[in-house]
Amino acid sequence: MQYINDTLKNKTILITGGAGFIGSNLAFYFQNEHPHAKVVVLDSFRSGETLSNGNLKSFGHFKNLLGFHGEIISGDINDKALLKKLEKEYKFDYIFHEAAISDTTALEQDLMIKTNVNAYKDLLDLAVAHKANMVYASSAATYGNAESPQRVGREAPNNVYGFSKLSMDHLSREYMKKTKIKIVGLRYFNVYGAREYFKNTTASMVLQFGHQILAGKNPRLFENSDKILRDFIYIEDIIQANIKAMQPRNSGIFNVGTGKARSFQSIVDILQKELGTKLQCEYIPNPFIGSYQFHTEANIETTKQLLGYQPRFEMEEGIKAYVPEIIRIYEEEVK
């Protein structure tokens, strides 16, 4: 399904973090819908390197790109020499910036700021040099425990990841004032869908609950999970927003969610219906009280008006569409 009418023939698109969850989905969107565009994927890919919390530093995985025929570059966005090489050897028309240290529990403030903020400035300079429109991943983490529905301008990040994304937004606004390129920041809410498995423990609870159920284990939820509400958004709507952001009416920062808060309990109930199971839920104390968002709901009115974005998937529809992939991943990667 094409979300834009104009052709991208002979256009060159850079996707940073292109072996990750959202980046790889973007890569396949362009390959399938705009086969005459040149797509360049840049990703650091995974190594054994971990953060202090034990999670991998990079989640990029080659399996997310199986079947992709475009150009692939292994490299780190912190490598200034690499970015200079990209500036000289390519002429990008669009840059989709998905690369980041995206682990909200990471404690390395220095690495977070260097990777998420400083490297982004270098990529903005690349975009300006090439006169390329920039679409980048911001985050609902910028809101912290701000009152729902979350609105742009009411941020209160409570971890360094959210702070780094808000810093990216501030930097973007400065560039919007002084450059002619279009810059669009998309604040993703809780995304789920295909190609997230290699995020490991940071993958969505939709996938994690699905695999618990397929293993015959009772789903384990925090106490009062029927009252813990998030704005869960299916990957297809995230891709839609990115494509709409290629030719925005205005540069800006926009929420990307469904505009509806749903509970973690609902995820399990929908999964059990789709998988035909009736396992008993187990409820455990929530160890993250005080640092945990108990209610997120994106205000998406501006996103609708200025980007022409309209969420297409309710959670019931998104999970139903995702279940065959959840089963495939379980059979091929988990069992």
Active site residue 330: no
pLDDT at 232: 98
Angle of CA points 158, 162, 164, to nearest 5°: 125
Q: What is the CA radius of gyration of the chain?
A: 19
Q: Which of 38, 165, 199, 244 is catalytic?
A: 199
Burial class of residue 147, CB neighbours in 10 A (0-12, 13-18, 19+): exposed
* CB count in 10 Å sphere of residue 142: 26
Q: What is the DSSP letter of 183?
A: E
| Residue at 234: amino acid letter | Y
> What is the pTM (predicted TM-score) of this model?
0.95
Of 24, 69, 54, 55, the closest CA to residue 42 belongs to 24
Which tokens sit at 244? 């709409």
Give the per-residue pLDDT at 6.
56
| 145-157 tens-digit pLDDT | 899 999 999 999 9
Q: CA angle, 157 as apex, 305 and 207 as ends, to 5°?
A: 75
Residue 4 has pLDDT above 60, yes or no: no
- Catalytic residue, chosen from 161, 188, 192, 197, is 161
With a cut of 70, say whether residue 297 has pLDDT above it.
Answer: yes
Is 199 an active-site residue?
Answer: yes
Please report which confidence band the pLDDT of residue 93 belongs to, taking 50, 70 and 90 as the band edges. Answer: very high
Task: Report CA torsion sign: 80, 85, 87, 90.
Answer: negative
Looking at residue 241, its amino acid is A
With a cut of 70, say whether residue 291 has pLDDT above it: no
**For residues 208-236, average pLDDT:** 97
- Residue 313, φ and ψ in degrees, nearest 5: -115, 115
Q: Please enumerate in sequence order all residues whose Cβ is within 8 A of that of 256, keeping only pairs 6 or more positions apart, or say none.
A: 186, 187, 188, 189, 233, 237, 238, 241, 298, 300, 303, 309
CA distance 52 to 55: 7
Across 76-80, average pLDDT: 97
pLDDT, mean of residues 92-110 = 93
Indicate if the pLDDT at residue 1 is higher than 60: no
Position 5 scores a pLDDT of: 47
Residue 54 has pLDDT above 90, yes or no: no
Q: Other C-beta atoms within 10 Å of 248: how many?
A: 17
Average pLDDT over every residue of 52-70: 93
Per-residue pLDDT of 111-126, as tens digits, reads 999 999 999 999 999 9
What was the pLDDT predicted at 2?
52
Q: Which of 24-33, 284-293, 300-309 has the lowest mean pLDDT?
A: 284-293
Q: Is the pLDDT of residue 48 over 90?
A: no
pLDDT at 3 over 80: no
Q: Out of 18-22, 48-52, 162-166, 232-236, which region has the weakest mean confidence (pLDDT)?
A: 48-52
* Burial of 260: CB neighbours in 10 Å, binned 0-12, 13-18, 19+: middle
Q: Note the pLDDT tens digit of each residue in 275-288.
A: 999 999 999 999 87
117, 86, 257: which is closest to 187 by C-alpha?
257
Residue 53 has pLDDT above 90, yes or no: no
Map residue 190 onto helix, strand or coil. strand
The overall average pLDDT reported for the chain is 95
> Where do we find the tokens 């028309």?
93
* List of domains in the chain: 12-334 (3.40.50.720)
Q: How far apart are CA 62 and CA 43, in angstroms?
A: 10
CA distance 258 to 314: 8
Half-sphere exposure (CA, 13 Å, Cβ side) for 146? Answer: 18
* Res. 298: pLDDT tops 80: yes
Joined together, the tokens standing for residue 317 give 């529809």
